[in-house]
Amino acid sequence: MSFDVQAVRAQFPILDQEVWGRSLVYLDNAATTHKPLAVLEAVDAYYRHDNSNVHRGVHALSQRATEAYEAGRDAVRAYLNAPASREIVFTRGTTEAINLVASSWGGDHVGPDDEILLTAMEHHSNIVPWQLLAGRTGARLRVARVDERGVLDLDHWASLVGPRTRIAAAVHVSNALGTVNPIREMVRIAHDRGVPVLVDGAQAVPHGLVDVQDLGCDFYALSGHKAYGPTGIGALWGRHELLDAMKPYQGGGEMILSVTFEETVYARVPTRFEAGTPHIAGGVGLGAALRWLSALGPDRVAAHEADLLAYATRQLQGIDRVRIVGEAPHKAAVLSFVIDGIHPHDVGTILDREGVAVRTGHHCAQPVLECMGLNATTRASFAAYNTRDDVDRLVAGIHRVIEVLG
């Protein structure tokens, strides 16, 4: 079955607008994706008809809200192929999910002179929480190298898994380079030495099915807004035996079985990690987004995006002074580049005037850009609703940048 991108685009009202008098070309999807009607309508219906607090009420609205919210949790489970919905913890996003593991699991398992293994291409969200943990405990970070193409040095990763390694954490898809890491092999290497692995899946989830059982990892973190869902909602998947042994990340209402001034008995997972009134509409919207993406066919979306990436790569390679940053043989739909002699912020500003939205800067991945000898790039990133015409507009915009700035 062919991929009908125009039918997909019709489900995104925000794309039907002009910016600076030009039709919008949105190529900032690695930062956040737009929302299809299925998500907008699900969130609207919740607030119009079912708005109530969850889990605690016996009245009809509370029961309907609870059912919709928990249906969102099960949609995450299904999309990740997790064994059970109780292994899905709702968070504000990937960042909070990683902080949860670093604080709760790390607080009990990481001590002085222990080691935490990362890669050089991590987003700041998968660096700073581990730095904070290391600062509290006296542990240290070890970092696996990335070569000039943006490919992880797997032998170096393996060499850094040692007797003091307590946990490894790695990005599935680099937001700055588009590199798809060999997670299965990385997990196998770590597990051979008894080291659990957390995967930052923020950029992987929207580009194809993520099967946590196939990957073999121990924790998987994701953000809803990068997968066509609302902002402020995400999830952590963790093996039940690990989650069940972890202390709460935050305290408050809902995450308890009983409270006295002398003692608190905590609820079972995942409720133990979801203190306070949750982002109910976010959970509803995330569920709608993942069901929409599943129905569309993540493999078909991935193939469509791969075609766009290949087409855009060929086009940019033909432009003098343009250098693509990140040329791993296995990439997702991210294309970062620099133009010799022109700052990325200036590139982004002129492209915006041409109606083309891209991201410029360090992309919250400063260490990997430093490995490439750069402070910033311009990044175009693709989604299910992008077209080859969008790529052509990007290319024309780059020519305009060079014409204007010389």
Domains of the chain: 5-30+297-405 (3.90.1150.10), 40-295 (3.40.640.10)
Say whether 217 is catalytic.
no
Banded pLDDT at 294 (limits 50, 70, 90): very high
Strand partners, 198: 169, 219
Q: Mean of the pLDDT values across residues 206-230?
A: 96
**235-281: pLDDT as tens digits:** 999 999 999 999 999 999 888 889 999 999 999 999 999 999 999 99
Nearest to 294 by CA among 85, 77, 91: 77
**Across 248-349, where does the E strand assignment appear?**
256-259, 264-266, 322-325, 334-339
Cα(328)–Cα(284) distance, integer angstroms: 36
Nearest to 142 by CA among 124, 176, 167: 167
Q: What is the pLDDT of residue 1?
A: 62
Nearest to 4 by CA among 301, 227, 205: 301
219-223 and 18-19 beta bridge pairing: unpaired
Neighbour count for residue 184 (Cβ, 10 Å): 12
Query: Can you read off the two tokens belonging to residue 284?
Result: 């509803």
Of the chain, the end-to-end C-alpha distance in Å amounts to 45
> What percent helix, strand, coil does the chain show, rounded to 5?
45, 20, 35
Find the catalytic residue in 364, 374, 396, 405.
364
Neighbour count for residue 81 (Cβ, 10 Å): 14
Omega before residue 270 within 30° of 0, cis: yes
**120-147: pLDDT as tens digits:** 999 999 999 999 999 999 999 999 999 9
Question: DSSP 3-state assignment of 115?
Answer: strand
Query: Can you read off the two tokens belonging to residue 392?
Result: 């052509």
**391-405: pLDDT as tens digits:** 999 999 999 999 999
